[in-house]
């Protein structure tokens, strides 16, 4: 039901922060961080890809209010924004698979929903951290992508590019509201953020491969597997997001937040198998089989994190193997693997990490 509080509301003199998409993967880690820092936190989430279970660890916290509703409903957004000092805007239709399959839904949520959040923030004099994505750079394979690097996007009629298109519009909206209406807004562009609670259901590579390794199934790697990414741990990203939001120098600016180590998806699959001591093999799957014919992927995507480092000291430190172990532990503990889950060959050493 739209606009229905799930957890009780509180009042107080502390910072009151709205997190849209707070029941999602990144959002739930952010909510925990903000509650631990002493904020009152309001979560607005339609639970489409997120889950109340992601907030189970803090559900009893009296400083958390959860509103089940959509950012497409401007009245619900205004209700959620009431008395808030700031908003972290994460609610979005996310994941290549979801976007390719339902482009219209994605465009509506990611453009109209975001504008609802930005206009409500102006009305309520709240500051905004807009969470954008490295997808905005599209097919630019520059050695290090800077915030002012060119965008290289494919045919706008390909649904694959609607996510990058919509997030780019979101950023342009944020900047225009900042320049013309005085909105206090900063933007972060996340690069492949990974960690516990990320689901593989919507095409996210790391939890998918970890799930396959846990089951002893082949790890399905798309294309030739030589495409590279830089994965960053959610626990490195969240504190940087909060520091950027607080810094007045970030107003009207965008910041990359990505991992430090470039790795091919093939090597990622190998590292997952080795870390989890899995008996799985690797199977290369043509893109046309995984997605529709003509699907385009980025050969590489490498961030230049200098701007965030210089502003707030951002430095990704969590090793990828640590994240792989944490994701595996999370998948097992949440029983996301279903009835065909098979115990790990190396479960003895692995259990120690849970």
Ligand X SMILES: NC(=O)c1ccc[n+]([C@@H]2O[C@H](COP(=O)([O-])OP(=O)(O)OC[C@H]3O[C@@H](n4cnc5c(N)ncnc54)[C@H](O)[C@@H]3O)[C@@H](O)[C@H]2O)c1
Of 38-46, 268-276, 290-298, 341-349, the segment contacting ligand X by CB under 6 A is: 38-46
d(CA 210, CA 114): 32
Asked if 302 touches ligand X (CB under 6 A), the answer is no
CB of 140: closest distance to ligand X in angstroms? 16
Q: Strand 86-89 relative to strand 232-233: parallel, antiparallel, unpaired?
A: unpaired
- With respect to ligand X, which residue has the nearer C-beta, 193 or 280? 193
Asked if 93 touches ligand X (CB under 6 A), the answer is yes
d(CA 77, CA 87): 11
Q: How many residues are present in the chain?
A: 354
Q: Residue count at the site for ligand X (CB under 6 A)?
A: 29
Q: How many CB atoms lie within 10 A of CB 109?
A: 23
Work out which of 66, 126, 131, 185 binds ligand X, going by CB under 6 A: 131
Asked if 298 and 141 touch (Cβ cutoff 8 Å), the reply is yes
Work out which of 103, 113, 138, 316 binds ligand X, going by CB under 6 A: 113
Q: Is 163 a catalytic residue?
A: yes
d(CA 28, CA 45): 11
- With respect to ligand X, which residue has the nearer C-beta, 69 or 350? 69
Q: Strand 232-233 relative to strand 193-194: parallel, antiparallel, unpaired?
A: parallel
Asked if 116 touches ligand X (CB under 6 A), the answer is no
Asked if 94 touches ligand X (CB under 6 A), the answer is yes
| Cα 151 from chain centre | 20
Q: How far is CA 54 from CA 178, 198, 322, in A?
A: 32, 10, 20
Asked if 45 touches ligand X (CB under 6 A), the answer is yes
Asked if 211 touches ligand X (CB under 6 A), the answer is no
Asked if 195 touches ligand X (CB under 6 A), the answer is no
Catalytic residues: 163
Provide the binding-site residues for ligand X, judged by CB under 6 A.
20-21, 23-27, 44-50, 70-72, 90-94, 109, 113, 131, 133, 190, 192-193
């Amino acid at each position: 039901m739209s606009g229905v509080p799930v957890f009780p509301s509180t009042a107080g003199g502390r910072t009151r922060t709205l997190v849209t998409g707070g029941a999602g993967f990144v959002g739930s880690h952010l909510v925990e961080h903000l509650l631990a820092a002493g904020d009152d936190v309001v979560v607005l989430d339609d639970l489409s890809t997120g889950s109340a279970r992601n907030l189970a660890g803090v559900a009893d916290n009296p400083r958390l209010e959860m509103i089940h509703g959509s950012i497409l409903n401007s009245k619900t957004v205004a209700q959620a924004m009431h008395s808030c000092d700031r908003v972290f805007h994460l609610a979005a239709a996310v994941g290549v698979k979801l976007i390719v399959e339902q482009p219209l839904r994605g465009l509506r949520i990611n453009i109209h929903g975001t504008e609802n959040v930005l206009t409500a923030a102006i009305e309520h004099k709240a500051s905004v951290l807009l969470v954008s994505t490295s997808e905005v750079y599209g097919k630019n394979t520059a050695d290090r992508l800077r915030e002012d690097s060119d965008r290289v996007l494919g045919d706008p009629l390909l649904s694959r590019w609607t996510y990058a298109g919509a997030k780019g519009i979101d950023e342009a909206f944020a900047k225009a509201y900042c320049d013309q209406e005085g909105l206090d807004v900063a933007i972060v562009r996340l690069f492949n953020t990974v960690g516990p609670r990320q689901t593989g259901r919507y095409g996210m590579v790391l939890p998918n491969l970890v799930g396959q390794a846990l089951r002893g199934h082949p790890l399905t790697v798309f294309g030739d597997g030589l495409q590279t990414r830089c994965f960053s741990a959610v626990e490195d990203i969240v504190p940087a997001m909060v520091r950027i939001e607080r810094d007045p120098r970030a107003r009207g600016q965008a910041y990359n937040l990505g991992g430090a180590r470039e790795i091919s998806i093939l090597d990622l699959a190998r590292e997952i198998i080795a870390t989890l001591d899995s008996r799985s093999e690797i199977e290369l799957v043509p893109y046309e089989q995984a997605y529709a014919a003509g699907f385009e992927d980025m050969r590489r995507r490498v961030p230049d994190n200098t701007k965030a480092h210089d502003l707030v000291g951002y430095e990704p430190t969590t090793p990828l193997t640590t994240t792989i172990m944490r994701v595996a532990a999370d998948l097992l503990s949440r029983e996301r693997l279903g009835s065909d889950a098979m115990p790990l060959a190396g479960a003895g050493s692995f259990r120690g990490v849970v």
